[in-house]
Amino acid sequence: MKTPKPANPWKFFALALGISWFFWMWVILLDWDVFTFPAIILGALGLFGPPIAEIILIFRTHDKEEWRDYWQRVFDIRRIGKRWHLVIWLTFPVLNTLALLLSVLTGSPWPEFETARNLLAEPWRTLPFAVFILLYGPLPEELGWRGYALDGLQARYNALFSSLILGAVWALWHFPLFSMKGQWQHDVLKFGTLDFWMFIFSPIFLSILFTWIYNNTNRSTLSAILFHFMCNFSGNLIPLTEQGRLYSLILTIILSITVTLIFGPKTLTRNGRGHQMESAERGTLKRFFGGGVCPYQLSFILDSPFRRLILSPQRLADRLHLKEDSRVLEIGPGSGYFSVEVARRIPHGHLELFDIQQKMLEKAHHKIESAGLNNVGFTQGDAVYLPFDEGEFDVVFLVAVLGEVSDPEACLRSIYKVLRPSGLLSITEQPGDPDFLPQRTVIAMAERQGFKFVESYGGKRNYTANFRKPISRMETGKSDMPAS
């Protein structure tokens, strides 16, 4: 059967947003709670803006084949293979569980699981609750987003770009919900907060996963509806704190990147790619997820604004006790996430960036240049062998790097040589790093090389440990000698 010609997605977006926002506008202007009468009717009509828009556009074409194809993709469960059922039903429960565990490990309290406990106490409520979740988002949204708009986008652009466009419109569609009393977005997340920005960014990356599943299930709208349902349903059963929601977003981003690298941005399927990944992609994934140096192809992850929640460049620079004329060495700067702030703190000093990847140094150089800084040097090499003079630097720092080095103890010996007496060595380790080193291990290694531990910041999984290179007796004696 011939697939109907996809319509223009831009007409659909304009109509879907216009219908939804028109009904929601009255709830906002009249300052009603959306779950009171008659606001609930207007809220529901707005929620069904995407399918109403799709129905209007299909009817205007008078194309019976297009209408038949549309409903087949909604109801034909045979399009979804067994493996894809596993992906649909398990992805979000696993992601949310991992995010919950990460948030607890980094200090968040265990949630009370109020919804899950209530459903267990009264099992008969589970089906009505599931039906409410299905109708309150997954069904009406996916009838429009994936059921209608995605094919039109993919007829014009590749699968990845189509996903990003659809994700951006999907995020924009949610904006009025942050002004509607009774909505979770208004009552809990609140406009302009970190939660707000995380919620707005989420659809952009989630859209990649939705396209991936849709394209691999023979354009099944039902697969998108079920996937969306599991996103919302598991989110209610596994409640997350703000920190947990951050981890959930990070995990979603990582999964989206992985899917894109494995299946390819053109179609997000194996079609035309064979059953093997290209060697470059396979090597990139292995290095990123299996530990070792973060490949420069994924440097954009290092620049994520969400890293500021773990450790901002300003907070790290404060921990380095910099002076305006300090000579500083940063080992493993990546694309320069911390480098710009450190260079600004030493206007009369010098920052040397040392990395094993020339491509990373080029990215850092571009960032330094854009910031208008000219007190930074760039050196490529292995951190086990630092090509600098003895006692050349006042401060040496590493962020999530020491565990990646082939021989950490040899690296520390090399740092000891290039650091001046009483100079500062600062080692930071962060959560989520596959090469994470516990603080106790780092302190033991540094002290074996002659460093003296002086202070630490942060917690067990997100810390900075500072050390000093002791002053030798001879140098102490020289400093105590009276001037002639």
The pLDDT-based confidence of 300 (bands split at 50, 70, 90) is low
At residue 344, the pLDDT reads: 96
Average pLDDT over residues 391-403: 95
- pLDDT tens readout for residues 72-82: 999 999 999 88
CATH class of 307-479: alpha beta
Q: For strand 350-355 and strand 393-399, is the pairing parallel, antiparallel, or unpaired?
A: unpaired
Q: Is 389 left (phi over 0), alpha (psi -120 to 50) or beta?
A: beta
Q: Sign of torsion, CA 238 94 224 50?
A: positive
3 state SS of 377:
strand
At residue 307, the pLDDT reads: 73
At residue 305, the pLDDT reads: 66
pTM score, whole prediction: 0.60
- pLDDT tens readout for residues 151-185: 999 988 899 999 999 999 999 999 999 999 988 88
When the pLDDT of each residue in the chain is averaged and rounded to a whole number, the result is: 87
Q: Is 428 left (phi over 0), alpha (psi -120 to 50) or beta?
A: beta
At residue 58, the pLDDT reads: 85
Angle, CA 338 vertex, CA 289 and CA 393 arms, to 5°? 110
481, pLDDT greater than 60: no
The pLDDT-based confidence of 325 (bands split at 50, 70, 90) is very high
Average pLDDT over residues 222-251: 92
289, pLDDT greater than 60: no
44, pLDDT greater than 70: yes
At residue 415, the pLDDT reads: 97
At residue 179, the pLDDT reads: 92
For the chain, what are the domain ranges? 9-276, 307-479
Q: Sign of torsion, CA 360 362 366 371?
A: positive
